[in-house]
Amino acid sequence: MSDRRVVITGVGVVAPGDSGREAFWSMISQGRTATRRITLFDPARFRSQIGAECNFDPQRCGLSYQEIRRMDRAGQFAVAAAREAVADSGIDIPNGDPSRVGVSVGNAVGNSILMEQEYRVISDNGRRWLVDAGYMVPHLYTVVVSSSIGAEVAYATDAEGPNAVITTGCCSGIDSVGHAFDLIREGCADVVVAGATDAPIYPISVACFDTLRASSTTNDDPEHACKPFDRNRNGLVLGEGSAMFVIEDAEHAARRGARVYCEILGFCARSNAYHMTGLRPDGREMADAITVALDQARVDPSDIDYVNAHGSGTKQNDRHETAAYRSSLGEHAYRVPVSSIKSMVGHSLGAIGSIEIAACALAIERDVVPPTANYETRDPECDLDYVPKTAREQKVDTVLSVGSGFGGFQSAIVLAAPGRAA
């Protein structure tokens, strides 16, 4: 690996609530939540009826009729966010060197809405195991392979370098940015359009989380349902959306006078090798991911200004994660503000890691720490400063963001303000 430095020069977001980077920031910095009763389908027969949905108008976001027809919601989000990021960065890919522009898109559940909708048609609503090929749509193959999402981002941005869909469950959104970081440092790309997307708010995924009893059942008060780290937390709220970035070699960015949101200083992925969904309370592997990422970043725990948590709002996660912070950050765990924006935008599985990185980049740019909404009652097992309800203006130069996902994945990434000494 070389000494190349890697920066973020463009940010695009399609988040729950209104679309666009500024609408996203406005919502989370004001502590407003987008968790509501699900409208994308009728949730009456489901245990958890809450979701954080995007008010997404694909045409207003620049998608063509054909893109809208052939792409699942997840792909549409990614393309819209990628276009916003590219415009934000000012980079001209087609007239530069497209072969040096890669793509890295995180995603967990593929094109699951379309997969499910098309299944209902060809199976005659589940009556036929031998599905009816006569009702197959021409783009059905690109529905079942999640690689198509990476392809669509390349079509939309003219990127011709290394392209991958990174699909490590709920860590996909951090891992895809980590992958971009590695590609640039390895020297096989100068720019990577990177981020993540997911759109799981549909019966099959909601039913899965119902059976696992991992999602919140506060159906009578959806706006306040997701309560990360709170003693009365009762589960996650499914979200959807995408955040995409232009990630660039620092010199390449400087040569074209690009505005830099932040630098990526360190990234580490680990696995707990314990259970596909369960977590041991000590958070060891997450702690190691944090420690290695900080080492790579040459950042001492005491230098961290903000920790953007995984904070899904389940009993086990928040306890696991708090333990990981205590062991990896030592005393500083008690001083640093730690917040979970899932309290506001829900848990969008493969997308959330990138949406959280977007929050971190904006936090660094604007020196504001977003809050943990709905936090009211202290849990003795979660005894850190979780920035209850109200955003905090403060210097934000160095940020740690972490993720944890089904399959045991544990990841950490360190971001810093441009010009912060390495």
Partner 1 sequence: MPHLNLDELKQVMLRCSGLPDQASVEGDITDVTFEDLGYDSLAVLEIASAMQRTYKIEISDESIETMVTPGAVLDFVNGALKAAA
Partner 2 sequence: MNTPASRAVITGLGVVAPTGTDVEAHWQATLAGKSAIHHIDRFDTSGYPLKLFGDVRDFVATDHVPVRLVRETDLMTHLAFAATEQALADAGLDPATVPEFDLGVVTANSSGGAHFGQSELQKLYSEGPYAVGAYMSIAWFYAATTGQLSIRHGARGACGVIATEQAGGLDAFGQARRNLRKGGRAVLCGGTDASLTPYGLVAQLANGLLSQRDDPLRAYLPFDADASGYVSGEGGAIMVVEDADAARARGVDRFLAEVAGYAATFDPRQQTRREPGLRRAIELALADAQVRPQDVDVVFADGYGVPRLDLVEAQALMRTFGERGAPVTVPKTMTGRLYAGGAPLDVATAVLAMRDSVIPPTVNVTSLAPGCRIDLVRDEPREAQLRTVLVAARGHGGFNAALVLTHP
Catalytic residue annotation: 170, 310, 347
SS3 letters for 194-207?
Answer: EEEEECCCCHHHHH
Residue 268, CA distances (Å) to 199, 218, 422 in order? 26, 35, 17
210: contact with partner 2 by CB under 8 A: yes
281: contact with partner 1 by CB under 8 A: no
Q: Which residue type is seen at 4?
A: R
Q: What span, in angstroms and rounded, lies between the C-alpha atoms of 99 and 56?
A: 31
Q: Looking only at residues 307 through 366 of this chain, which bind partner 2 when binding is defined by CB under 8 A?
A: none
Residue 310 CB-density burial (10 A; 0-12 exposed, 13-18 middle, 19+ buried): buried
Beta bridge partners of 415: 264, 399
Residue 198's region, left for phi above 0, alpha for psi from -120 to 50, else beta, is: beta
Tell me which of partner 1, partner 2, none is bound by residue 148, counting a contact when its beta carbon lies within the kind-specific cut-off of 5 to 8 angstroms.
partner 2
Residue 133 CB-density burial (10 A; 0-12 exposed, 13-18 middle, 19+ buried): exposed
Least Cβ distance, residue 266 to partner 2 (angstroms): 11
From 36-44, 125-133, 212-220, 355-363, span contacting partner 1 (CB under 8 A): 212-220
Beta strands in 292-351 (DSSP E): 306-308, 338-339
Q: Which is nearer to partner 1, 94 or 278 (CB)?
A: 278
Residue from the set 213, 280, 335, 378 that interacts with partner 1 by CB under 8 A: 213
Q: Looking only at residues 68 through 107 of this chain, which bind partner 2 when binding is defined by CB under 8 A?
A: 98-99, 102-103, 107
* Cβ–Cβ < 8 Å for 191, 248: yes
Taking alpha carbons only, the member of 373, 371, 377 closest to residue 391 is: 371
249: contact with partner 2 by CB under 8 A: no
Q: Which is nearer to partner 2, 140 or 254 (CB)?
A: 140
Tell me which of partner 1, partner 2, none is bound by residue 278, counting a contact when its beta carbon lies within the kind-specific cut-off of 5 to 8 angstroms.
partner 1
Q: Which is nearer to partner 2, 54 or 108 (CB)?
A: 108
Least Cβ distance, residue 188 to partner 2 (angstroms): 7
Q: Which is nearer to partner 2, 99 or 302 (CB)?
A: 99
Least Cβ distance, residue 278 to partner 1 (angstroms): 6
Q: Which residue type is seen at 240?
A: E
Q: Looking only at residues 106 through 135 of this chain, which bind partner 2 when binding is defined by CB under 8 A?
A: 107-110, 115-116, 119-120, 122-123, 125-127, 129-133
Least Cβ distance, residue 131 to partner 1 (angstroms): 25
* Cβ–Cβ < 8 Å for 73, 199: yes
Tell me which of partner 1, partner 2, none is bound by residue 333, counting a contact when its beta carbon lies within the kind-specific cut-off of 5 to 8 angstroms.
none
Q: Kindly give, in sequence order, each residue whose CB lies less than 8 Å from that of residue 197, ignoring residues fewer than 6 positions away.
A: 14, 74, 75, 77, 78, 81, 105, 106, 107, 149, 241, 242, 244, 350, 351, 354
Copy the structure tokens of residue 74.
């997840």
Q: Looking only at residues 227 through 256 of this chain, which bind partner 1 when binding is defined by CB under 8 A?
A: 234
Number of residues that bind partner 1 (CB under 8 A): 9
Q: Which is nearer to partner 2, 74 or 384 (CB)?
A: 74
* Cβ–Cβ < 8 Å for 301, 393: no
Least Cβ distance, residue 292 to partner 2 (angstroms): 8
Least Cβ distance, residue 275 to partner 1 (angstroms): 7
Q: What span, in angstroms and rounded, lies between the C-alpha atoms of 163 and 31?
A: 36
Q: Looking only at residues 256 through 285 of this chain, which bind partner 2 when binding is defined by CB under 8 A?
A: 268-277, 285
Least Cβ distance, residue 13 to partner 2 (angstroms): 23
Q: Which is nearer to partner 2, 142 or 308 (CB)?
A: 142
Residue from the set 76, 89, 167, 218 that interacts with partner 2 by CB under 8 A: 167
Copy the structure tokens of residue 30.
């004001």
Contacts with partner 1, residue ranges (CB under 8 A): 211-213, 217, 234, 275-278
